[in-house]
């Protein structure tokens, strides 16, 4: 089921499909490892309802709801305490090793 990151529930694990938004933000978010295919867990929401806290590749990142709405995700599974290894990227992005 396709959705966006802001709509995820606390504890839910989703897979990133596409990162949208302003260029600098989008680039930085992807550089922090939120590339398509990566699993993300919504760890929590700040007491005032915004921003939200994400677990990405073992690191906790926080972004605002307005920006999280621009991140398209698909649900993986319901809330879980621990998270399995991250998924691999799509084959067309798979790189060969150094020459």
Partner 1 sequence: MSAEACHEPSPKPAPPTHPTPRRLVVLVGNPNVGKTTLFNRLTGQNARVGNYPGITVERRSGELALGDDGVAEVVDVPGAYSLAARSPEEQLAINSTLGIAGFERPDLVVAVVDAGQLIRNLYLVLQLAELRVPLLVVLNMIDEAGEARPDPAAVSELFSAPTVATNARSGEGIEALRAEIARRLSETGEARVDLPYPPDLRSALDRVADALPAGWRKNVERDRALALWALSSIDPDDELDSIPPALRERCLDVQRDLSGRDLDLEVIGARYAFLDAHADRIFGRATRHPPKHAGSARLDRVLLHPLFGFVAFVGIMLVMFMALFSWAEPGIASIEAAFRALGELAKARLPEGVARDFLTDGVIGGVGNVVVFLPQILLLFLFIGLLEDSGYMARVAYLMDRIMRALGLHGRAFVPMLSGFACAVPAILATRTMERRRDRLLTMLVVPLMTCSARLPVYSLIIGALFPDRALLGFLPLGAVLMVGMYVFSMVMTLVAAAIIGRTVVPGRQVPLILELPPYRVPLLRGVLRMMVERSWVFLKEAGTVILACTIVLWALLAFPRAEAAAVPPTATATATAAAAAPSEAASKAAALEKSYGGRLGKSLEPALEPLGFDWKIGIGLIGAFAAREVFVSTLGVVYGVGAADDDTSPLRQRIKTEIRADGKPTYSALTGLSLMVFFALACQCMSTLAVVRRESRSWRWPAFLFAYMTALAYAASLLVYQGGRLLGFG
Query: Do 13 and 38 meet the contact criterion of CB atoms below 8 Å apart?
Result: no
Q: Which of 10, 74, 77, 88 is in the footprint of partner 1 by CB under 8 A?
A: 88
Q: Which of 7, 17, 50, 76 is in the footprint of partner 1 by CB under 8 A?
A: 50
Region of 6-14, 39-47, 71-79 interacting with partner 1 (CB under 8 A)? 39-47
Query: Do 34 and 71 meet the contact criterion of CB atoms below 8 Å apart?
Result: yes
- Taken in order 14, 17, 22, 23, the sign of the CA dihedral is positive
Distance CA 49, CA 65 (A): 9
Distance CA 25, CA 31 (A): 10
Tell me which residues in 55-74 interact with partner 1 (CB under 8 A). Answer: 55-64, 66-67
Q: Is 78 in the site for partner 1 (CB under 8 A)?
A: no
Tell me which residues in 6-35 interact with partner 1 (CB under 8 A). Answer: 19, 21-33, 35
Query: Do 19 and 30 meet the contact criterion of CB atoms below 8 Å apart?
Result: yes
Binding site for partner 1 (CB under 8 A): 19, 21-33, 35-36, 38, 43-44, 46-51, 53, 55-64, 66-67, 81-83, 85-86, 88-89, 93-99
């Amino acid at each position: 089921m396709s959705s966006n990151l802001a709509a995820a529930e606390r504890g839910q694990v989703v897979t990133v499909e596409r990162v949208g938004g302003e260029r600098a933000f989008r680039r930085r978010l992807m550089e922090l490892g939120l590339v398509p295919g990566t699993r993300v867990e919504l760890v929590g929401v700040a007491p005032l309802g915004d921003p939200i806290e994400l677990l990405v590749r073992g690191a906790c990142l926080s972004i605002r709801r307005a920006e999280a709405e621009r991140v398209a995700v698909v649900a993986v599974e319901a809330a879980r305490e621990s998270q399995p290894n991250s998924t691999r990227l799509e084959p067309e992005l798979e790189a060969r090793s150094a020459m």
